[in-house]
Structure 1
Amino acid sequence: MKKTHIVLLVVIAIAIGTLIMLSVDFSTYDTVASARQKQGKFVHLIARLDRTIPLDYDPAKNPNYLSFIAKDSLGNATKVVYHNTKPAELEQSERIVLKGKMQGDVFECSDILLKCPSKYKDDKKVLEQTVEEKTIVESK
């Protein structure tokens, strides 16, 4: 191969590597305190719904406005404003992932992901009963 072909292949490989690096999302979960330090920047905030304060959602008045208080694992709280319909089962979720930007003391949310591990946990008694039933059937 000619030197120009080798140089051209190296340049193409570097360009492909650069494009791949730019397309990958390296975001991590932030706390309320770190999101406040990143004012106006897009972050993923992992938190829990503060159930002591009621949600502000009135679908008759404005179906595309939801606000609530979210607390992170360190106990820091922030008001969250979501300009879309309320996700189903928001109140029952264990944790929520909020995607958006901190604007002052308010987190302007663009997307909400619900984390509800209780949906995937088996009831211990039901599981034990199923195992016992299978054992009885197999022994016959």
Structure 2
Amino acid sequence: MKKLHILLLVGVAVAIAVMISFTSDLTTYDTIASAKQKEGTYVHLIAKLDKAQPIDYDPLKNPNYCAFTVVDSLGGVTKVISNKPKPADLEMSERVVLKGRMKEDGFHCDDILLKCPSKYKDEQAKGLRHPGSKQEG
């Protein structure tokens, strides 16, 4: 074989190895039920805060502990445990994206992303216009 062929084969092998390493980091959005089946595996959950259940957060006792309950779109329910302070506006969020691992006692969350309602939602309900929108008249 020529040196060029060998270099091309090595380059292809390196490219395949790089692609495989990137795909191992990819995660998909899971339901609570599928996360329970993959206990210990890093997953992303999309859910809503269960506002009927209390949020366990006492910054004076432990500012790096927050626990609350979420419900996914299929009705699955789980306790979420975070070793970070409670996110601001958690109660006002429409949905939460949780990154972490399901364990026996609940979902242990590394990161919480809040999907908050539009700041214009209340204005639209009251019949107010967005800045810059054309007025009829």
Q: Secondary structure at the match of 1:74?
A: coil
Query: Structure 1: any 5+ residue segments left out of the alignment?
Result: none
Residue 123 of structure 1: how far off its partner (Å): 3.5
Q: Structure 1 residues 12 and 76, CA, compared in 2 at 3 Å: closer, same or farther? A: same
Query: Structure 2: any 5+ residue segments left out of the alignment?
Result: none
Percent of residue pairs bearing the same amino acid type: 51
Aligned to 1:131: 134
> How many residues are treated as equivalent by the alignment?
133
Aligned to 1:97: 97
Aligned to 2:54: 54
1:101-125 CA-to-partner distances (Å, cap 9, x unmatched) read: 1111411111101111423658333
> Structure 1-normalised TM-score?
0.84
What amino acid is aligned across from residue 90 of structure 2 in structure 1? L
What amino acid is aligned across from residue 10 of structure 1 in structure 2? L
Greater radius of gyration (CA): 1
> Structure 2-normalised TM-score?
0.85
**Which is helix-richer, 1 or 2?**
1
Q: How far apart are the structure 1 equivalents of 2:7 and 2:106? A: 50
RMSD value over aligned CA atoms?
2.2
Q: How far apart are the structure 2 equivalents of 1:49 and 1:131? A: 37
1:55-76 CA-to-partner distances (Å, cap 9, x unmatched) read: 0000011101100001100111
Aligned to 1:6: 5
